[in-house]
C-alpha cells in the first residue's frame, strides 16, 4: 500500500493507494497518525513546499521507505523547465497527475491554491512550464495590507460576485473574484488558440469556487497532486 502526502503552504493532504486506486483521502494533519496506526504501508512519497521534515522523520521512524519528490526522480513526463531545481514539487506532482488522466494530449493544469499556478504538458508528454499568479486570499490580503483603509474580505460570506460593486466590500469582491475568472478564461483561450485538443484540469482548495464560474470545459480533480505523487511512486522502482 502506498501513502502520498502533500505538504502545502496552508494544508497537509494525504491519501492511501492500492497500486493506482485511491482508497481514502485525508485533509487534516492530525489524521495522519491514525492512518499510520491502522494501515500497513509499504512506501510513501512526500511533496512539500518548505523545509518541514516532521512528517518525513515520522515515516522513517516507523520503517516506511519514504521518497521526497524532486525533479531528479524518474518521471513519466520529461521536464523541459530551464531551472528544474526551482520547480515546485506540487507543480511536478499535479502535472504528472494531469498527464495520467490525458496521456499523449495537450493538457493545461490549473491549481487554485495559495498561488494560482498554470502548468502545460504537451502531447509529447513534455512539461514545458507555465505561470504563477497570486491566489485568491493572497489578493484579498494584499489589498488590505498595502492600503490604509480597505477591509479584509472573507469571500465565503458572499454568494454572488457582481461585476459592479455598489460598496467597498463588493467592489473588492468583484475585483478579486471577477479578476481571477477573467484571468483564467483568458489564459485558457490563449492555450486553446495555440494547441489543438487542449484538456484543462483544475485542482486546489479554491478550485470549487471558480470551476462553476468559468465558461470553459474543465475537469475538476481535488486530489490531483496526490494522484500524481502516487503515479511517480509507482513509476520509480523500489
pTM over 0.85: yes
When pLDDT is cut at 50, 70 and 90, the band that residue 95 belongs to is very high
CATH domain 72-135+177-235 topology: Nucleotidyltransferase; domain 5 (3.30.420)
Residue 29 pLDDT class (50, 70, 90 cuts): low
Is residue 58 predicted with pLDDT exceeding 90? no
CA dihedral (135, 140, 141, 143) positive or negative: positive
Domain ranges of the chain: 72-135+177-235
Q: Tell me whether residue 90 is one of the annotated catalytic residues.
A: yes
- Max CA separation in the chain (angstroms): 59
Task: Give me the pLDDT at residue 52, please.
Answer: 65
pLDDT tens, residue by residue, 212-224: 888 888 999 999 9
C-alpha cell at position 41: 504501508
Q: In whole angstroms, give the CA distance from residue 131 to residue 108.
A: 11
Angle subtended at Cα 208 by Cα 87 and Cα 4, rounded to the nearest 5 degrees: 45
Please tell me which residue in 6, 90, 111, 119 is annotated as part of the active site: 90
CA of residue 96 relative to chain centroid, distance: 11
**Average pLDDT over the chain, rounded to an integer:** 91
Amino acid at each position: 500500500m502506498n501513502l502520498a502526502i502533500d505538504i502545502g503552504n496552508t494544508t497537509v493532504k494525504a491519501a492511501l493507494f492500492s497500486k493506482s486506486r485511491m482508497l481514502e483521502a485525508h485533509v487534516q494533519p492530525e489524521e495522519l497518525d491514525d492512518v499510520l496506526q491502522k494501515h500497513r504501508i509499504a512506501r510513501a512519497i512526500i511533496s512539500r513546499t518548505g523545509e518541514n521534515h516532521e512528517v518525513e522523520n515520522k515515516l522513517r521512524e516507523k520503517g516506511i521507505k519514504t521518497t521526497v519528490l524532486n525533479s531528479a526522480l524518474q518521471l513519466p513526463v520529461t521536464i523541459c523547465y530551464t531551472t528544474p531545481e526551482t520547480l515546485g514539487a506540487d507543480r511536478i506532482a499535479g502535472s504528472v497527475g494531469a498527464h495520467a488522466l490525458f496521456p499523449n494530449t495537450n493538457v493545461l493544469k490549473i491549481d487554485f491554491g495559495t498561488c494560482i499556478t498554470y502548468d502545460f504538458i504537451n502531447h509529447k508528454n513534455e512539461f514545458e512550464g507555465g505561470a504563477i499568479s497570486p491566489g485568491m486570499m493572497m489578493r484579498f490580503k494584499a489589498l488590505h495590507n498595502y492600503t490604509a483603509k480597505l477591509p479584509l474580505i472573507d469571500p465565503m460570506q458572499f454568494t454572488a460576485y457582481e461585476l459592479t460593486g455598489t460598496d467597498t466590500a463588493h467592489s473588492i469582491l468583484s475585483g478579486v473574484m471577477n479578476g481571477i475568472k477573467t484571468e483564467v478564461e483568458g489564459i485558457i483561450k490563449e492555450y486553446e488558440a495555440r494547441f489543438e485538443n487542449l484538456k484543462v484540469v483544475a485542482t486546489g482548495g479554491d478550485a470549487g469556487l471558480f470551476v462553476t464560474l468559468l465558461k470553459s470545459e474543465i475537469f475538476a480533480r481535488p486530489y490531483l497532486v496526490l494522484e500524481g505523487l502516487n503515479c511517480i511512486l509507482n513509476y520509480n522502482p523500489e
